[in-house]
Amino acid sequence: MKNNLAVKIGSLILKNPVLVASGTFGYASEFEDFMDISALGAVVTKTVTLVPRKGNVPPRTCETPAGMLNSIGLENPGIEVFVQEKILLAGKYNVPIIVSIASEGGFEEFTALTKRLDSVIEAAGIELNISCPNVKSRGLVAQDPRSAYEAVKAARKGTGKTLIVKLSPNVTDITEIACAVQKAGADAVSLINTLYGMSIDTVTRKSRLGNIIGGLSGPAIKPVALKMVYDVSRSIKIPVIGMGGIISSSDAVEFLVAGATAVSVGTGNFINPSVSLEIITGIERYLHEHAISSIRDLTGSLKI
């Protein structure tokens, strides 16, 4: 039996439901020596802003039990260099490229960014990063439903391309934010971004991160991510891309059963650069073993 792994996210048809998460896969070319990038469902690029960012002071990462903390601070060359150089390299792999964007200023920056990307052929879709926890600000856009709504409305003004909104777990009720961005015109949501965290060196009594606070990712956050994907998928009608601690095909299947249409692999890429391909193979094997012909029949199939 031939299994159908194709999924639909907005106007995008992906050949399989496995993406690689923003900030964990560079601009794709960094991984070409380790895997067949064209086998992926899609690549989500490192987040780009309107102007270049140097990022946070080092150290920027540290290992934690069952995960890692990062405080990169959205280091990137800015949208013009990205369009003229980075995405051209990423576009050669015959895989949909979803561009992650973030704003440092007002919502009008989202409009400027999406408008700039709207005519870029290599950009198959856009992910709106309103949930990065390691950029110093008064709070995350994703922590307030009204702000999240306005950000998506602004981004939608500049493009007709598939618009995915990345949500933060650092909220009281993530479903409220998901409903707001759906109403504003999002085609899909991705969740979860990292949880707030920190680590202290008891010898020096200093933070192990230059920014003190960072984002926790990896297997440690999977139960939280899984629960939020379950909640959100039952609250909205647009697709959910699940992420948070996925390092095996079994992890991925859990997210699909919980309600995700697709999954995104993040920290796992640092542990095993080819893990995403192994997950694709594992999902296909799971469908075959359980006589499931289409991946769509797995989504939201949790038995209550």
CA distance 121 to 117: 8
> Which one from 132, 228, 240, 252 is the annotated catalytic residue?
132
* Residue 132 is among the residues annotated as catalytic for this protein: yes
CB 131 within 8 Å of CB 142? yes
Residue 269, SS3?
Answer: helix
At residue 89, the 3 state secondary structure works out as helix
Q: CA–CA separation, 251 vs 219, rounded Å? A: 9
234: Cβ contacts below 8 Å, ≥ 6 apart: 259
C-alpha–C-alpha distance, residues 251 and 244, integer Å:
9
Q: Please answer whether residues 113 and 103 qualify as being in contact, where contact means their C-beta atoms are separated by less than 8 angstroms.
A: yes
- Verify cis geometry, omega within 30 degrees of 0, for the bond prior to 169: no
- Tell me if 78 sits within 8 A of 49, measured CB to CB: yes
**Structure tokens given for 121:** 């052929």
- As a whole number of angstroms, the distance between CA 287 and CA 292 comes to 5
- Report, as residue numbers or ranges, the catalytic residues: 132
